[in-house]
């Protein structure tokens, strides 16, 4: 396949580039690098099957030659990033998705959109299955991301229904691993960075909120399988290994030997921060034969090693 991956210099985009290249495909990476980092794809320089175009996909996308698949992963994706770039976040979810869909249609390519567990908002149903419609505050601080992705899903289904485009929607739950940005503000890089510097870990609120942390290789496998499937409805990809943020902080301190403890920062918790999050992954299991394989105990050490290198 000849594949376009938007957001190629980002955490997930760069791992997807690696996977598609390893499978023998040709990859065109695209990114405007506002939240990504070209260092994530530096190792691909000189690879004859890889090329990179620096471009903001919220503007018309031009790609020469045929394409078999378009994977739209461009977007600020951490709460700090989308609070910093709320308009770009809305634009890349809306205009960027429109451009990427138009390109896929013109090239008769498959299209896959990176959606998110954020479309469930602060969920009132637990765990979250794809059939849950969500609980989103449209005008809250996280609304720019949540609504952009909800619109992106709707537009994707409209192209599927109206044009018969082969579309896929992956709803990505919390994912971590090497190449996350140390300063992206998310709990994994924040706490691991603090631990490696010997600082106390900052837990927002009382730490009773839960997340389920999936290692990046499981996500990549799920995306790859979904693209090759013929399933157009959304599919959750995430781990069901759920824990409180406080417990996660304790694990980070145990693993790194950090003795500086944990401090609660009540005021840092962003309004609308989901109290609980765990995917129902029955659909991924049934449709894709996919299940997460990497436990937190297995995935954290290589992640810590990566952050130790870049710190
Ligand atoms: N969080 C925290 N300390 C930090 C950063 C985040 O306690 O230094 C909390 C945050 O309030 C949220 C959870 O960790 O409840 C996960 O936050 P993250 O930014 O990783 O992404 P989210 O899952 O909210 O999109």
Alpha-carbon span 165 to 110, nearest angstrom = 7
Strands 242-244 and 210-212, bridge-based pairing: antiparallel
Residue length of the chain:
311
- The b-or-e profile of 218-237 (16+ CB within 10 A means b, else e) is bbbbbbbbbbeeebbebbbb
9 with 33: CB under 8 angstroms?
yes
Distance in Å, CA 212 to ligand 1 centroid: 11
Identify which of 187, 191, 193, 199 to mutate to test ligand 1's pocket (most ligand atoms within 8 A of the CB): 187
From the centroid of its chain, how far is CA 285? 20
Nearest CA to ligand 1 atom 4: 187
- Number of helical H runs and strand E runs in the chain: 10, 13
CA of 12 relative to ligand 1 center, distance in Å:
18
For residue range 96-129, list pLDDT tens digits in order.
999 999 999 999 999 999 999 999 999 999 999 9
Q: Which residues line ligand 1 (CB under 6 A)?
A: 78-79, 174, 185-187, 190-191, 202-204, 209, 211, 245, 269, 273
Report CA(107)–ligand 1 centroid distance (Å): 39
Closest CA to 249 of 211, 218, 295: 211
- 189: nearest Cα among 12, 199, 179: 179
- The Cα–Cα gap between 204 and 80 comes to 14
Q: Which residues contact 299 (CB under 8 A, 6 or more apart)?
A: 176, 177, 213, 215, 216
The DSSP bridge pattern shows strands 167-172 and 201-204 to be: unpaired
Residue 177 contacts residue 15 (beta carbons within 8 Å):
yes
145 is an active site residue:
yes
CA of 233 to the centre of ligand 1 (A): 28
What topology does CATH give the domain 2-175+215-239+278-293?
Answer: Rossmann fold (3.40.50)
Rounded Cα gap, residues 190 and 133, in angstroms? 30
Q: Are 38 and 179 in contact (CB under 8 A)?
A: no
Sequential pLDDT tens for the chain (311 residues) = 999 999 999 999 999 999 999 999 999 999 999 999 999 999 999 999 999 999 999 999 999 999 999 999 999 999 999 999 999 999 999 999 999 999 999 999 999 999 999 999 999 999 999 999 999 999 999 999 999 999 999 999 999 999 999 999 999 999 999 999 999 999 999 999 999 999 999 999 999 999 999 999 999 999 999 999 999 999 999 999 999 999 999 999 999 999 999 999 988 998 899 999 999 999 999 999 999 999 999 999 999 999 999 99
Return the ligand 1 atom nearest residue 79 CA. Answer: 19
């Amino acid at each position: 396949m000849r594949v376009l991956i938007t957001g190629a210099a980002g955490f997930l985009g760069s791992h997807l580039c690696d996977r598609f290249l390893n499978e023998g495909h040709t990859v065109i990476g695209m990114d405007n690098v506002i939240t990504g980092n070209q260092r994530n794809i530096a190792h691909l320089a000189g690879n004859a099957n890889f090329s990179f175009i620096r471009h903001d996909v919220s503007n018309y996308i031009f790609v020469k030659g045929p394409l078999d698949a378009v994977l739209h992963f461009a977007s600020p994706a951490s709460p700090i990033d989308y609070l910093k770039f709320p308009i770009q976040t809305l634009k890349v979810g809306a205009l960027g998705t429109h451009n990427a869909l138009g390109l896929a249609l013109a090239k008769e390519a498959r299209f896959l959109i990176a959606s998110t567990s954020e479309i469930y908002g602060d969920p009132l149903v637990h765990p979250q299955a794809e059939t849950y419609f969500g609980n989103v505050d449209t005008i809250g601080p996280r609304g720019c991301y949540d609504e952009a992705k909800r619109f992106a899903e709707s537009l994707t289904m409209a192209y599927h229904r109206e044009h018969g485009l082969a579309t896929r929607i992956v709803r990505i739950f919390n994912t971590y691993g090497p190449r996350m940005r140390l300063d992206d503000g998310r709990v994994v890089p924040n706490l691991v960075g603090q631990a490696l510097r010997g600082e106390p870990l900052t837990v927002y609120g009382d730490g009773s909120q839960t997340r389920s942390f999936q290692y990046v290789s499981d996500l990549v496998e799920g995306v790859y399988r979904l693209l090759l499937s013929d399933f157009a409805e959304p599919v959750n990809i995430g781990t069901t290994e759920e824990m409180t943020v406080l417990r996660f902080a304790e694990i980070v301190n145990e693993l790194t030997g950090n003795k500086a403890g944990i401090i609660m920062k009540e005021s840092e918790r962003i309004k609308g921060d989901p109290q609980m999050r765990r995917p129902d992954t029955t659909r991924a299991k049934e449709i894709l034969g996919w299940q997460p394989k990497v436990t937190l105990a297995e995935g954290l050490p290589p992640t810590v090693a990566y952050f130790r290198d870049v710190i």
